[in-house]
Chains A and B, each alone.
Chain A
């Protein structure tokens, strides 16, 4: 993209070419998934990428506001959902697409999807570790702090 040349600094936006932080090539692939869409020229592709970025920033900000309101430090799906609900145009196209609350993450191996048996079934000698403790931790996921008192 063009370097800044001898243009005036009067414009409020950067006088350089605008560089979206999202990959334009991937945006193009996403567009192409819809067979009804014919041709999209390069300026349109550029603008869709820019507006997708604006949307992402907006939704991230609104979600974070919810997180902060609830005095949490981790942005969760539920915070996003509430943020989506609050903005009518976004809610109209997006609310139904959001995963249902407390759904299993899709990349968990099948073994973790079985519910562990209730721990209180049989009394065990003190200090015994139940065997299902070994299989309880998700194997490859980044640590997620479980927030049990979400409302």
Chain B
């Protein structure tokens, strides 16, 4: 195995690990893609891999834009509103509606969870 051209070398293994860290799992990506396809359709491996790259680029792009806004406003932490803003600023206003609803729902759940914790703590002390 070691004599073959292109046998695994430690550097290449490290690259593979780095690849995994910067891409979403191909299984998840492939599954979500399939949901949008007719039943008998297939996706080439190259297309799935490309889609992994596309989504990672998107993540970086949106986060970077949101982060830049924070920096300009001298805030340290990117929050949900920043993400909503970034999506709109970058032209993804189709997502704006659903994402704002998710944000609203997420915050509601946070409040509920905090209340439940408080009730539980009070009961414990009683």
Contact = CB atoms under 8 A, between A and B. Distances in A.
Interface of A: 1-2, 5, 11, 13, 17-18, 21-23, 26-27, 29-31, 33-34, 36-41, 43-44, 46-48, 50-61, 63-64, 67-68, 73-77, 79-80, 84, 88-89, 92-94, 97-99, 105, 109-111, 141-142, 144-145
A76 B44 contact: yes
B102 A18 contact: yes
B20 to A, nearest CB: 9
B32 interface: yes
Contact of B67 (A5, A36, A76, A144): A36
Interface residues of B, number: 69
B70 to A, nearest CB: 8
B77 to A, nearest CB: 4
B91 A55 contact: no
Contacts of B6: 109-111
A51 B55 contact: no
Nearest to B43: A75
26 contacts: A2-B113, A21-B31, A22-B28, A22-B55, A23-B24, A30-B22, A30-B24, A31-B59, A31-B60, A33-B60, A41-B78, A41-B80, A43-B107, A44-B82, A46-B80, A48-B62, A50-B99, A56-B29, A64-B38, A75-B44, A79-B47, A80-B51, A80-B54, A93-B58, A110-B6, A141-B45
A5 B106 CA distance: 15
Contacts of B4: 109, 111
B21 interface: yes
B119 interface: no
Contacts of A61: 36
A22 B90 contact: no
A26 B24 CA distance: 6
The 8 A-B pairs with the shortest beta carbon distances in the complex, nearest first, are: A89-B91, A110-B6, A43-B80, A60-B33, A39-B77, A60-B36, A47-B83, A61-B36
